[in-house]
Amino acid sequence: MTNQLLRFTTAGSVDDGKSTLIGRLLFDSKSIFEDQLEAVEASSAKKGFDYVDLSLLTDGLKSEREQGITIDVAYRYFATPKRKFIIADTPGHIQYTRNMVTGASTANLALILIDARKGLVEQTHRHSFIASLLKIPHVIVCVNKMDLVNYDESVYDKIVEDYKAFSSKLEVSDIQFVPISALVGDNVVNRSEKMDWYQGATLLHMLESVHIESDYNHIDSRFPVQYVVRPQSKEYHDFRGYAGRVAGGIFRPGDDVLVLPSGFNSKIKEIFFGEQKMSEAFAPMSVTITLEDEIDISRGDIIAKPNNHPETEQDIDLMLCWMNQRPVNLSGKFFVRHTTREVRGVLKEIQYKLDINTLQRVENVEQLTMNEIARVKIRTAQPLCYDSYRKNRITGSLILVDEGTNETVAAGMIV
């Protein structure tokens, strides 16, 4: 058996106990080292706490430790004998939607925390909406602080019911629920002795067993060319390899392929992984492909199949999350980065803005400000070869880069 990698994102409001939960997962799965624990014990004592504040394990930077809040995405690692985990730990408060979107973009799973005393709050809606917008395939809702509601089953049931009612409006296919106390450790790694009424799995067990094999698209073959390998050596004089990371489907030597946007046809000759010749390649493998025919292919092209290929268009509909301090107006121009391609683009139309707390559409909008999410149309100078984000998170996503400052200013999901 080989270990798999599960990437998950955590989202919670301030004081939901998110950092404590992560600290608990790391601590109970024995992923904390002695010197890290000693440092946290010392800072807890310095702050005058009479317990070890596990949340301090995840507070990274000086400014955060001073303010006691997390201000950016931090990545944490732990492993069990079954899986390796990467946590994208993102802050919960409203001004950091951009961080949640960033953390969610690479996640297989979202952990959503709800304070059992408070039930669903605005931020629960916001986090769940972002998980759905970014098409995170799996969601686990942790009803936390059960110790503060006397481990009452009816409190938990009510929250589960409320969440199900709310989430029916979202596109998340796989939702699980678990009642926990991160502070005490109930149902996080170890089963709770206080909640006999709960027959389900612990949080860690869910994380270890959720089915992630189908999270990548293995049906629609897509290979964005990253780099052309030309050895310039006597031995490999005529070698022309197309290096890239498979974004979808399966490629095998002998397959007929279509290269976009040029439209040339050819056949796969060989597939290399390092010096090893492969009989097939699938997402997310980084390989080098050679073709039977000498055709002109460069970075930004996509190798697909003649009967199954991406759309090629210049007018593109997006859900856009604006991430920069400076707002954007209609006709704003950018560099558009999509897979390995960069083209110029312009914001043509803002169809509506979404209030991410109520999911209401706001129309007649001419400007987007930081952390706003909108349905927009852009036009690109050259066509993009894309899929809908729903079909493929790699060929369906793009970023906008400011032409002046070079900052990444927006994330787009192609509709």
Partner 1 sequence: MSQYYLSHLKELESEAIYVIREVVAQFEKPALLFSGGKDSIVLAYLSRKAFYPARIPFPLVHIDTGHNFPETMEYRDWLVNELGVKLVVGSVQESIDKGRAKEETGFNASRNALQTVTLLDTIEQHKYDAAMGGARRDEEKARAKERFFSHRDEFGQWDPKNQRPELWNIFNGRKQQGEHFRVFPISNWTEMDVWQYIFTENIPIPKLYFSHEREVITRDGAILSTSPWLKLKPGEVPEKKIVRFRTCGDMPITGAVESDADTLEKIIIEVAASRKTERGTRADDKRSETAMEDRKKSGYF
> According to CB under 8 A, which residues from 352 to 411 bind partner 1?
393-394, 397-399, 401, 406-408, 411
- Token pair, residue 184, equals 């005490």
Min separation Cβ 12 and partner 1, Å: 18
| Alpha carbon distance 177, 358 (integer Å) | 23
| Interacting residue with partner 1 among 29, 36, 312, 351 (CB under 8 A) | 36
Return the sign of the alpha-carbon dihedral for residues 162, 106, 53, 26.
positive
Check binding of 54 to partner 1 (CB under 8 A): no
Give the per-residue SS3 of 115-156: ECCCCCCHHHHHHHHHHHHCCCCEEEEEEECHHHHCCCHHHH
Check binding of 230 to partner 1 (CB under 8 A): yes
Check binding of 107 to partner 1 (CB under 8 A): no
Hey, what amino acid is at 243?
Answer: A
Check binding of 253 to partner 1 (CB under 8 A): no
Query: Footprint of partner 1 on residues 286-315 (CB under 8 A)?
Result: 286, 288, 299
Query: Footprint of partner 1 on residues 202-221 (CB under 8 A)?
Result: 212-213, 216, 218
| Interacting residue with partner 1 among 18, 24, 76, 125 (CB under 8 A) | 76
Query: Footprint of partner 1 on residues 9-28 (CB under 8 A)?
Result: none
| Alpha carbon distance 4, 406 (integer Å) | 36
Min separation Cβ 74 and partner 1, Å: 4
* Cα 103-92-403 angle, rounded to 5 deg: 50
| Interacting residue with partner 1 among 50, 193, 235, 296 (CB under 8 A) | 235
- Could you tell me which residues come within 8 angstroms of residue 352 by beta carbon, excluding any fewer than 6 positions away? 361, 362, 363, 365, 374, 375
Min separation Cβ 409 and partner 1, Å: 9
Burial class (CB in 10 A: 0-12, 13-18, 19+), 20: buried
| Interacting residue with partner 1 among 35, 294, 296, 363 (CB under 8 A) | 35
Q: Do residues 370 and 327 make contact, with C-beta atoms less than 8 angstroms apart?
A: yes
Check binding of 49 to partner 1 (CB under 8 A): no
Query: Footprint of partner 1 on residues 321-350 (CB under 8 A)?
Result: 323, 335, 337-340
Q: Are strands 174-179 and 138-144 parallel, antiparallel or unpaired?
A: parallel
| Interacting residue with partner 1 among 15, 161, 197, 273 (CB under 8 A) | 273
Query: Whose Cβ is closer to partner 1: residue 3's or residue 150's?
Result: 3
Query: Whose Cβ is closer to partner 1: residue 107's or residue 178's?
Result: 107
Query: Whose Cβ is closer to partner 1: residue 160's or residue 285's?
Result: 285
Query: Whose Cβ is closer to partner 1: residue 140's or residue 246's?
Result: 246
| Interacting residue with partner 1 among 52, 69, 160, 229 (CB under 8 A) | 229
* Cα 212-213-216 angle, rounded to 5 deg: 90
Min separation Cβ 58 and partner 1, Å: 8
Min separation Cβ 187 and partner 1, Å: 25
Check binding of 415 to partner 1 (CB under 8 A): no
Which whole-number Å values give the CA distances from 28 to 48, 112, 175, in the listed order? Answer: 24, 20, 24
- Could you tell me which residues come within 8 angstroms of residue 292 by beta carbon, excluding any fewer than 6 positions away? 266, 267, 268, 269
| Alpha carbon distance 277, 287 (integer Å) | 10
**Helices 122-133, 153-167: inter-axial angle, 10-degree rounding:** 50
| Alpha carbon distance 57, 87 (integer Å) | 13
**Does residue 261 have a cis peptide bond before it, meaning omega lies within 30 degrees of 0?**
yes
Min separation Cβ 11 and partner 1, Å: 16
Min separation Cβ 75 and partner 1, Å: 5
Min separation Cβ 298 and partner 1, Å: 10
3 state DSSP class of 253: coil
Q: Are strands 311-322 and 276-277 parallel, antiparallel or unpaired?
A: unpaired
Check binding of 175 to partner 1 (CB under 8 A): no
Query: Whose Cβ is closer to partner 1: residue 12's or residue 244's?
Result: 244
Check binding of 280 to partner 1 (CB under 8 A): yes
Check binding of 275 to partner 1 (CB under 8 A): yes
| Interacting residue with partner 1 among 105, 123, 128, 181 (CB under 8 A) | 105
Query: Whose Cβ is closer to partner 1: residue 22's or residue 180's?
Result: 22
Query: Whose Cβ is closer to partner 1: residue 67's or residue 329's?
Result: 67
